[in-house]
Copies of this chain bind each other. A is one copy, B any other.
């Protein structure tokens, strides 16, 4: 808490990592006592470019379970992105021309965390707010609900119920700031701090920086996860990126530089050969989940993508394989009304319960004070030539390394 009302120099600008900031503006600061419910800046006030009519706007939603939810709308002159500080700095939707990064969830409102009870429905309460393009699962745990041990205040090992996909997606950001870099190239950056801290529990923080060059069809999500506690701390993070129509449809397919594909369960094993292909909506479809080990290029980057049936639209995700060595491919090809959607999900592990993930050595630890960095570079490809080019890049990473298909589900 803080009582200072001055809009002071920002962490981002102070830190010196920003190139020639034309603007540093703090929208929310728990520490400094800053909070603006509405705000905007455009190329009119800050003419960093002659070529694009860009803008950043903040507003607050109303009605139903979205009352009080804050949204930052970034328009870089080419793509438009909605960031939701109130829901852990998730990205609700990105649009560029006729390409949409997002999907049609049955959840229509942007649900305020005050209405989410993660424990409800046997630990599936997270699903009551699930409609983002990109939501982080984590940080103390991610994946399926289930029982796991922890050490309580009197030093005993006791059992607790983990809930689906953890808490970070339902914690409001404590610090939110907008930075405009003059460039060239000029760039818009939204930074946010989300803290998952408690007494007798984890003390994890997430600083995210969501940035896009003005006029580009690309953006980056760069996250720093820090253990603020005094002891080693397990953590998990899965970037749950979800796509529906028009990109997704019968004939769309997944492509990635991948070493190995393992079905998550027996159901997924039955259709393993078709793991990369999509049908149209199938009423009554039960989710199929595939566990992928991505390959990296010489710079350590993995590359996966989803392309449409016509082969003239695609979205690609690049990420550091050392930090995100697992990719979950989630296919939920259900009726449109139920959420026809696929997830491409780089993570520190797969979405089994933390107990199972730990047994498979997929739950990393942070030492006291340690920070780990993650990034997602997202590109939108809007014609056949661009789609061909990015698929070539995938194939060149794959090279002659074979793609292994495991017949048996994940142990």
Closest to A283 in B: B230
A62 lies within 8 A of B28 (CB) = yes
Binds B, one of A11-19, A154-162, A393-401: A154-162
| Distance in Å: Cβ of A330 to nearest Cβ of chain B | 10
B229-A107 in contact (CB<8A): no
Chain B residues positioned under 8 Å from A267 (CB to CB):
154-155
Chain copies in the assembled complex: 3
Give the complex CA separation of A337 and B160 in angstroms. 24
- A231: chain B residues within 8 A (beta carbon): 283-284, 335, 338
Of the residues B66, B114, B160, B174, contact of A109 by C-beta under 8 Å: B174
Question: Please, how many angstroms separate the alpha-carbon atoms of A286 and B65 in the complex?
Answer: 36
**CB of A269, distance to nearest CB on chain B (Å):** 13
Query: Binary interface profile of A, 332-359, with partner B (CB < 8 Å = 1, else 0)?
Result: 0011111100000000000000000000
Q: Is there an interface contact between A155 and B122, defined as CB atoms closer than 8 Å?
A: no
B229 touches A110 (CB 8 A): no
Closest chain B CB from A138 CB (angstroms): 16
A13-36: which have CB < 8 Å to B?
28-31, 33-35
Q: Is the CB of B160 within 8 A of A67?
A: no
Residues in B with CB closer than 8 Å to A336 are 230
Residues of B within 8 A of A150 (CB): 121
Q: Report chain B residues within 8 Å CB of A128.
A: 198-199, 201
Number of interface residues of A (CB under 8 A): 82
Residues in A153-189 with C-beta less than 8 Å from chain B:
153-155, 158-161, 171-176
With A30-B63, A62-B33 as given contacts, are A199 and B105 in contact (CB-CB < 8 Å)?
Answer: yes
A251 at the interface (CB under 8 A from B): no
Q: A8 → chain B, closest Cβ, in Å?
A: 14
Note all chain B residues with C-beta closer than 8 A to A64.
28, 30, 171-175, 193-195
Q: Given contacts A35-B62, A160-B122, is CB(A67)–CB(B172) below 8 Å?
A: yes
CA distance A358 to B235 in the complex (A): 40
Whether A113 sits at the interface, judged by CB under 8 Å, is yes
Tell whether A334 pairs with B230 under 8 Å between CB atoms, given A63-B174, A67-B35, A108-B197: yes
Q: Is the CB of B337 within 8 A of A228?
A: yes
A106:B171 contact, CB within 8 angstroms: no
Task: Report whether A108 and B61 are in contact in the complex, using a CB–CB cutoff of 8 Å.
Answer: no
A287: Cβ under 8 A from any B Cβ = yes
| A127 x B62 contact (CB < 8 A) | no
- Residue among A63, A66, A199 having the largest count of chain B Cβ atoms under 10 Å: A63
Distance of A110 Cα from B117 Cα, bound (Å): 20
Which 9 A-B pairs have CB atoms at the shortest separation, nearest pair first?
A30-B63, A35-B62, A64-B174, A230-B335, A155-B286, A114-B114, A230-B337, A127-B199, A30-B64
| A–B complex contacts, Cβ < 8 Å, 22 sampled | A1-B110, A29-B63, A30-B63, A30-B109, A33-B62, A63-B176, A64-B171, A64-B174, A106-B229, A107-B199, A113-B115, A115-B171, A122-B152, A122-B159, A127-B198, A127-B199, A128-B198, A130-B199, A154-B265, A203-B338, A230-B336, A230-B337
Q: What 18 additional pairs, Cβ within 8 angstroms, besides A122-B159, A127-B153, A131-B199?
A: A1-B109, A30-B64, A30-B109, A33-B62, A35-B63, A64-B195, A113-B114, A114-B114, A118-B120, A124-B153, A127-B201, A153-B287, A154-B265, A154-B286, A228-B337, A229-B337, A230-B334, A231-B284
